[in-house]
Amino acid sequence: MLDEIHEECGIAAVYIKGNSNSANKALFYLYRLLLNLQNRGQLSAGVTTHDPKRNQLLDTHKDLGHVNEVFRTSDKAKSFEIFKKYAGSKGIGHVRYATSGTEGKGVAQPFERHHGRKWKWFAFGFNGNLANYTELKRKLLSSGEIHLTYDNDTEIILHNITNILNEHKKRPDMAKVFGELAKKFDGCYNISYINAEGEIVVCRDPHGFRPLVYGFSDDKKVFMAASESNALLNCGIKKIKPLQPGYMVHIVNDKVRIRKFAESKKISHCMFEWVYFSNVSSVLDNKSVYITRTRLGKELAKLETEKVNAEDYVVVPVPDTAKASGDAYAFELGVPSREGIIRNRYVGRTFIEGSSRYDRVQSKYTALKRVLRGKKVLLTDDSIVRGATTKQLVRYLKEDGEAKEVHLRISCPPLRGPCFYGIDMSTISELLVPSFEGKPVSGNITKQTCAKIAKHLGADSLIYQSIEGLVKSIRMPSKKLCMACINGRYPTPCGKKLFKKAWEYHNKGSKKRVISGMC
């Protein structure tokens, strides 16, 4: 994706049973899981582990940066100290990208709450976004007894868990605790939770917006859960299952149980997980990400209007998430697929790159002139968000790459609305397509609108995937997919109201962010 957007985070949990040879290696597994979830969050990483033999029964290590930066792996001695200090047989982990609020170290997760009673001393990590955040915040502050330090929904969740636990005189059934949370929350929330007694909960919200999987080692002594299957697979877990919406993994007294904590009235799996967010090697709710993306390419090829041939045309997928769909699209049309632009993988975020978007494109990509010169380039990507970077890449391919023509081919239908469920898209005005359509649209984009957008971007033509092609590629009924950002049909009451408010702002020319909870 050129105009990169981000998923908020990824979660993980590890439990090692009894006195096995790996009994104190939970942190080692958590580290490996988080490395494989790095695509879901690159702002911060953290873990909380449990060890009944140390004074800090729960201990949390977290910081800003990539996983290897947080665990100081470039310094062997410091890294060894971290792994020694936070060793344990149980733990949870988190990687984060902020969709809102501050980006300081304090908002890195897991969040930990200390307490003298072990079952009230807990830590948790959170993947998602609460659409009714402002309403929940208002209720918490109304008593005048609670102070909120951070402007985010993770802190809201912490106080709600705390309040529910405080209503009990002895350790409550955690299925009931999370059932109470489900009654309060509108939105997306996958949570990994651990308390100082070593009790673990991993839950998936009743809509199932974000993926969550679990599995055991072959000898059944190691349990792992994570946001994506590739993380478990790369830790040696072979039999991986999706956790169903409204269910939780509950680990207590050396027993691992799958329990229902809330009714799931409507399944709403985020279609963007298959299109862009998830690792291409993952399997989400039994649907392969890679296979889905190849189908998206095949469906896109059916919409082609150019009279393509292998001599004049070349397909160039934008690295890296568009490669599977781009290659499949090229194969269906009998046109070569080439790496006409190479991503400069080690640039990272820098403060000394050029100030213009064109300079940043040149910093991020290298155009291969010998592939592009004189060719009609079919530039494939998974989506266009704001369009500004896409516009500069088209210019770059023509000016520096000397491409004869550039035709944009997008494997996802156009993005038309904000996401209130954990994706970094918060206003109508920051999206490209609504400014050309001028009103909420739920069907496929017209050829006339595509022509106007292509002209705006400097491209010779533009074709988007159809909504029908998207659903067919994922091979899941449309009623079980959240496609709100492309068709405006938000699956929760607060989401519907926020979308209406977002259009009110847009029509007034306001770029004001729609705050979750304005419903």
Of residues 9, 188, 203, 419, which has the active-site annotation? 9
pLDDT at 253 over 80: yes
* Tokens at 196, concatenated: 């100082």
What residues have CB less than 8 Å from 388, skipping those under 6 apart?
3, 357
- pLDDT (average), residues 424-449: 91
* Tokens at 306, concatenated: 């150019």
Distances (CA, A) of 282 to 2, 232, 249: 22, 10, 20
By mean pLDDT, which of 290-299, 357-366, 429-438 is the weakest?
357-366
- pLDDT at 508 (0 to 100): 87
34 phi-psi bin (left φ>0, alpha ψ -120 to 50, beta other): alpha
d(CA 426, CA 153): 15
What residues have CB less than 8 Å from 261, skipping those under 6 apart?
175, 176, 178, 179, 182, 203, 246, 247, 248
- pLDDT at 353 (0 to 100): 46
* In the chain, domain spans: 9-265, 288-507
pLDDT at 280 over 50: yes
DSSP-derived secondary structure for 82-122? HHHHT-BSEEEEEEE--SSS--SGGG-S-EEE--SSGGG-E
By mean pLDDT, which of 108-117, 337-346, 452-461 is the weakest?
337-346
Q: For the segment 187-208, what is each residue's pLDDT rounded down to a tens digit?
A: 999 999 999 999 999 999 999 9
> What strands lie across the sheet with 111-113, from one edge to the other?
111-113, 122-130, 187-195, 200-203, 247-252, 255-260
HEC string of 20-58? CCCCCEHHHHHHHHHHCCHHHCCCEEEEEEECCCCCCCE
- pLDDT at 100 (0 to 100): 47
Q: Which amino acid belongs to residue 330?
A: A
- pLDDT at 128 (0 to 100): 94
- pLDDT (average), residues 410-416: 97
- pLDDT at 64 (0 to 100): 94
Element (H, E) at 311: none
Q: Compute and round to an integer the Cα radius of gyration of the chain.
A: 24
By mean pLDDT, which of 67-81, 85-99, 158-172, 308-322 is the weakest?
85-99
Report pTM.
0.93
Query: What is the share, in percent, of the chain residues with pLDDT greater than 70?
Result: 94
Burial of 370 (0-12, 13-18, 19+ CB in 10 A): exposed
Residue 67 sits at the vertex; the CA angle it makes with 230 and 59, to the nearest 5 degrees, is: 105
Q: For the segment 37-65, what is each residue's pLDDT rounded down to a tens digit?
A: 999 999 999 999 999 999 999 999 999 99
CB 53 within 8 A of CB 23: no
Q: For the segment 154-186, what is each residue's pLDDT rounded down to a tens digit?
A: 999 999 999 999 999 999 999 999 999 999 999
pLDDT at 350 over 50: no
Domain 288-507 has CATH 3.30.1360.120: no
- pLDDT (average), residues 348-375: 76
519 band by pLDDT with thresholds 50, 70 and 90? low
d(CA 125, CA 154): 8
Burial of 238 (0-12, 13-18, 19+ CB in 10 A): exposed
C-alpha dihedral, 450 to 454 to 460 to 465, nearest 10°: -50
d(CA 14, CA 22): 12
Give the domain 9-265 fold. Answer: Glutamine Phosphoribosylpyrophosphate, subunit 1, domain 1 (3.60.20)
pLDDT at 99 over 50: no
Q: For the segment 289-327, what is each residue's pLDDT rounded down to a tens digit?
A: 999 999 999 999 999 999 999 999 999 999 988 999 999
Q: For the segment 388-410, what is each residue's pLDDT rounded down to a tens digit?
A: 999 999 999 999 999 999 999 99
Residue 9 designated active-site: yes
Buried/exposed 256-279: b ≥16 CB within 10 Å, e otherwise: eeebebbebeebbbbbbbbbbbbb
